[in-house]
Amino acid sequence: MFKKNRAVSSDNETTSGEPPIGSGDTGVASCFRAARYWLFWLLFVATFALDQASKQIIWRTLPSGYDAPPVPLIPGVFNLVHVHNRGAAFSLFSGYGWLLVVLALGALVATFIWRRNLELERRAVQFAFGMLTGGIVGNVADRLLYGYVVDFLDVILPGYGHWPAFNIADAGICIGVLLYLVVSFRHPVVPKESAE
């Protein structure tokens, strides 16, 4: 009798070591799962906070507009500006702000749904997606609050000229995507069937 009950209990356990649903310890299980993604949450909050704080500083201190004089930090290489971007990163798809918000929110939902397929338990992947999602939320917050995104980083490339102005959120998105691609190529996901 006891052996049969133990066998049933063993069958109900998950392969990830988490308590089964309905075990009565869902609060502890949720905290345990969230703790596994601590690096993701750290990078998410840091990217979002740095993005929003920097935009507020620019908003309060620099005049806006493409005609406003830039503030050179490295003359001929790097300036601070204050422009309003109604497109995506680097001013792409200007005029489609509502569509960009929908796509951004869809990307966040997809990241949550397929977090196991993305191997979000890995530290490097958490680093990448923490910056990526933090940047997405930073720009989405701007669009919902103001209808545009504040861009202020102006880089001048030799032989090209001014790169489209961007912000901390754009940088986080690009770094996150590039890092995830590097991790995926260097450590590709191995299907469970072939790994066994």
CA dihedral 163, 169, 171, 173 (to 10 degrees): -120
- What pLDDT is attached to residue 10? 44
What pLDDT does residue 127 have? Answer: 94
Active-site positions? Answer: 151, 170
Exposed, middle or buried by CB within 10 Å (0-12, 13-18, 19+), for 96?
Answer: middle
pLDDT in tens, 119-137: 888 899 999 999 999 999 9
Instruction: Supply φ then ψ for residue 46, to 5 degrees.
Output: -65, -45
Q: What is the pLDDT of residue 144?
A: 86
Among the ranges given (43-57, 64-78, 83-97, 119-133), the one the predictor scored with the smallest mean pLDDT: 83-97
Over its C-alpha atoms, the chain yields an Rg (Å, rounded) of 22
Phi, psi of 17 (to 5 degrees): 85, 5
Could you tell me which residue, 28 or 53, shows the higher pLDDT?
53
* Sheet architecture: strand order including 161-162: 71-74, 78-85, 149-157, 161-162
Lowest mean pLDDT among 30-34, 140-144, 161-165: 30-34
DSSP 34-94: HHTTHHHHHHHHHHHHHHHHHHHHHHHHS--STTSPPEEEETTTEEEEEEEE-SSGGGTTT
When comparing pLDDT for 78 and 66, which is higher?
Answer: 78
Among residues 78, 50, 41, which one has the least CA distance to residue 171? 50
**In angstroms, how far is the first alpha carbon of the chain from the final one?**
34
pLDDT for position 21: 47
d(CA 43, CA 134): 7
Residue 110: Cβ-neighbour burial (10 angstroms; 0-12, 13-18, 19+):
exposed
Highest mean pLDDT among 84-88, 129-133, 187-191: 129-133
* Residue 30: predicted pLDDT: 57
Report whether 115 contacts 26 (CB < 8 A): no
